[in-house]
Amino acid sequence: MGHDISPIGNHKLNTQDIKVLAEDISSRIDINIEYGFYGQKEYFKLLGESRDDEHIVLGKIIKDEKFKTYRLIDERYQLKQLHEKFGDNIFYNPKYWIYHDGKLPEQKWIEEEKKELIFPEFELTLISSKETEYLTIYKELYVNEIPYYSRWWSFCRLFTESNFEYLDGLLEFRKELMKYTLAFGGDKIYYLDDQSNVLEGVGQGSEWELNWNEFEKFVADKTLPLMLNIPLFLTDRSYRNEFINKKEYPLSFIDDFYDLK
């Protein structure tokens, strides 16, 4: 399987609940939003509802018919409903564990499941059959898969081989990420290998329970001194030559866009 770039930035979006988040996003960028959750029939039954697996629309924000429409999903919505009704007892109800054949898992997995009440996770996906654009939003960081530039190793070679013929594409990629990050109240993006052998799944979803400070420390601890500062690389010849002379691929990239502002 090929390695992809996982761009992870910080934000100040309000993740209190899905309606509040939808309104916050809509106030910051020009898109329409349909928001809701994907419900599973087993959980509907526990909630006293007779429904099949289905996508539930809770509301829509139409800012302008000409704008693209995205679907915002709260991945924790049904869990929060079940917890509101049953409290922590829901985690000890075998009927909740539909992916464990209705059997209670070990306590450590129950404790992991409880964390999902603390750490929000939302998916913002373009409603279109022709394009794939999406964001994953956690409490203090988000993963931006809306713009696409290249696979991971091609991205690395752009810097290690000074392949500047693709610089225009890189600048457009960074400008697009900067637009979202600044609009969301953030100031920085990290580019990670989504299948890195040193990041322990961070960049592939394991970042969901990290706050921003924990995330930055983790990436620095795991990837220095092969973390490449993109604005510095592009503006400082001595830094650029120093990194190229290492003759190693970066393990991570950091980008605060200061050369673009």
Closest CA to 243 of 189, 151, 235, 6: 235
Establish if 31 belongs to a structural domain. yes
The 10s digit of each residue's pLDDT in 28-79 is 999 999 999 999 999 999 999 999 999 999 999 999 999 999 999 999 999 9
Establish if 96 belongs to a structural domain. no
Q: How many domains does the chain contain in total?
A: 1
Whole-model pTM above 0.85?
Answer: yes
Q: What is the mean pLDDT of residues 16-26?
A: 97
The predicted pLDDT at position 26 comes to 97
> Which comes out higher in pLDDT, residue 169 or 143?
143
Distance CA 88, CA 11 (A): 30
Establish if 100 belongs to a structural domain. no
Distance CA 161, CA 123 (A): 36
Beta-carbon contacts of 104 under 8 Å, excluding residues fewer than 6 positions away, are 92, 94, 97, 110
Distance CA 222, CA 50 (A): 48
Establish if 161 belongs to a structural domain. yes
The 10s digit of each residue's pLDDT in 178-235 is 999 999 999 999 999 999 999 999 999 999 999 999 999 999 999 999 999 999 999 9
Establish if 260 belongs to a structural domain. no
pLDDT above 80 (res 260) = yes
Domain that holds residue 187: 5-76+120-255
Establish if 39 belongs to a structural domain. yes
pLDDT above 80 (res 165) = no
Burial 9-42 (b: 16+ CB within 10 A, else e): bbbebebeebeebbebbbebeebbbbbbbebeeb
Supply the Cα-derived Rg of the chain in whole angstroms. 21
Sign of CA dihedral 157, 161, 163, 164: positive
The 10s digit of each residue's pLDDT in 86-140 is 999 999 999 999 999 889 999 999 999 999 999 999 999 999 767 789 999 999 9
Establish if 143 belongs to a structural domain. yes
The predicted pLDDT at position 130 comes to 77
Establish if 98 belongs to a structural domain. no
